Amino acid sequence: MNLALRDIRHDLSRFALTAVGLGLLLTVVLAMTGIYNGIIVDATALPASLQADLWIVQRDTRGPFAELSRLPAELEDRALAVPGVARARSYVAHTIQRELPDGRPLRFTAVGLSWPVDGGESIPLIEGRPLEQAHYEVIVDESLGLQLGERIRLARDMYTVVGVTKGILASAGDAVAFFTRADAQSIQYDQSSEAIRLDRKARTQRIRESWLGNDPEFVRFAETATGLIPAIAPAPVSAVMINVAPGASIEIVKQRLATWKDISVYSQEDQNELILGGIVEKTRKQIGLFRALLVVISTILMSLIIYTMTVDKLHSIALLKLLGAKQTVILGMILQEALLLGAIAYTIAIGVGHYAFERFPRRVILENEHMLMLALLVLAISSIASAIGMKKALAADPNEVLAG
């Protein structure tokens, strides 16, 4: 006769309610674990998608993700001249918030690719293709809610969605959209006609008032488009991504580049450490702490529940002792109830998580090892909790039954 099952059956609704409550608590533990993992994967998804061996950034900055970095655009060409460098691509990024025609906000981080060297071939797409034109094509993250083939107006131009990624986010959690660098910058520097006119006028005025203003040729030049003036540098880039030639050592190329006085060089791992140690460090710690707290709460709660379940049965346990029940029968009953409670709560947590986590706004990543970890945790908690209950059960005095 299984006493554990009969005890549970006798007050099934109480047991079920307890199991559901514990299950939901474990769901939160699981969610926290998944969110924690998600933060790490999300934070490094963008640099990972670009598959660079080395990152060149402005000297002594921790850019381009953890900190702002500015480099002259021609650094790309300088880097290409270094032995062992097979490919150099510029990286530019900035956050843009616009409105769709229907009024929905459209917020994303625009990343510029070095077209034609890089059309986004390294980016993992779930749909579509990399960029194939110098202009007016974009790869977006699915979290932006745009469909493949959809056309959106940005600045003065219409862009077509040609590729869709999943889970590529910038550090603030915004979806990333990949453009060619020229497009990204034209969106970034988009100004109204009036602003451009006023800008040129101000520039002409400054020239007129300086000693250069004596030369009418200078004044005429100042009135032309910014891009046509050779003295004004093209827009800076945030970083230059380096891929080394097959067979070349990343470490050696890094040392070569590090001798340049105007830049700092990071490997992909350095970059991940900067991101995890900087941007998401506090979030990560906070969620880690919260998760630890939840585990402690679950342990206490479960111990308390199993302890109470045992205390409620002390009279029956004393009776069982009088009837000559073996210790294994009594302890087995307590352990089985604890394990069953744990197992049901765990199943509820996994089940609820399976349906709920997809709907979370940020990514929840759970691997089998995390499920296994939770299972072991529940097993440990159940065992600890039942050990406390067993201690109480062993102390149950048959004399108390006589006392009525």
Partner 1 sequence: MSERSIAVLARKVSKHYGEGNTYVRALGETDFELMSGEVVALLGPSGSGKSTLLTILGLINEPDGGDLEIGGQVVIRAGEFVGNTNQVRRRELGFVFQRSNLIPFLTAEENVRLVLELDGVGKRIARQRSREMLETLGVGDRGAHYPVELSGGQQQRVAIARALIHEPALVLADEPTASLDKQRGRQVMELFRSAARERGAGVLVVTHDHRSLDLVDRTLEIEDGFLIAGGVALGPEGRSGERSSPTVRP
Q: Which residues bind partner 1 (CB under 8 A)?
A: 1, 3, 6-7, 9-11, 313, 315-316, 319-320, 322-326, 329, 398-399, 401-402, 404
- Quickly count: other Cβ atoms within 10 Å of residue 147's Cβ: 10
Closest contact distance (angstroms) between CB of 390 and partner 1 is 17
**Rounded CA separation 162/133 (Å):** 10
Q: Measured from the CB of residue 327, what is the shortest distance to partner 1 in angstroms?
A: 8
Q: How far is the CB of 315 from partner 1 (least distance, A)?
A: 6
Of the pair 272, 316, the CB lying nearest partner 1 is at 316
Q: How many CB atoms lie within 10 A of CB 341?
A: 26
Q: Which two tokens stand for residue 176?
A: 């990333």
Note whether 175 and 100 are within 8 A (CB). Answer: no
Rounded to the nearest whole angstrom, what is the least distance from the CB of residue 386 to partner 1 in the complex? 18
Least separation in angstroms between residue 314's CB and partner 1 is: 12
Least distance between partner 1 and beta carbon 402 (Å): 6
Closest approach of partner 1 to the CB of residue 323, in Å: 6
Inter-residue long-range contacts of 303-306, CB under 8 Å, 24+ positions, other chains counted: 303/381, 303/384, 303/385, 303/388, 305/18, 305/22, 305/341, 305/385, 306/334, 306/337, 306/338, 306/341, 306/382, 306/385, 306/386, 306/388, 306/389
The nearest distance, CB 330 to partner 1, in angstroms, is 11
Residue number with CB closer to partner 1 (151 or 315): 315
Residues pairing with 58 in the sheet: 263
Residue showing tokens 């998608």: 49
DSSP 1: -
Q: Distance between CA 41 and CA 37 in Å, rounded?
A: 6
In the bound state with partner 1, the residue whose beta carbon lies nearer, of 285 and 326, is 326
User: Smallest distance from the beta carbon of 400 to partner 1, in angstroms?
Assistant: 10
Cβ 120 vs Cβ 138: under 8 Å: no
Nearer to partner 1, 276 or 329 (CB): 329
- Of the two residues 329 and 365, which places its CB atom closer to partner 1 in the complex? 329
CB 325 to partner 1: min, Å: 5
Q: Smaller CB distance to partner 1: residue 103 or 404?
A: 404
**Backbone dihedral angles phi then psi of residue 233, each to the nearest 5 degrees:** -70, 150
Q: Which lies closer to partner 1 via its Cβ, residue 62 or residue 313? A: 313
Amino acid at 34: G
Retrieve residue 364's tokens. 């929840």
Taken in order 373, 31, 345, 354, the sign of the CA dihedral is negative
Q: Which is nearer to partner 1, 247 or 324 (CB)?
A: 324
Cα separation, 164 vs 162, whole angstroms? 7
In the bound state with partner 1, the residue whose beta carbon lies nearer, of 66 and 338, is 338
Residue 357 CA to chain centroid, in angstroms?
Answer: 14
Q: Specify the residue, 86 or 401, whose C-beta has the smaller distance to partner 1.
A: 401
| Vertex 80: Cα angle to 77 and 82 (nearest 5) | 125
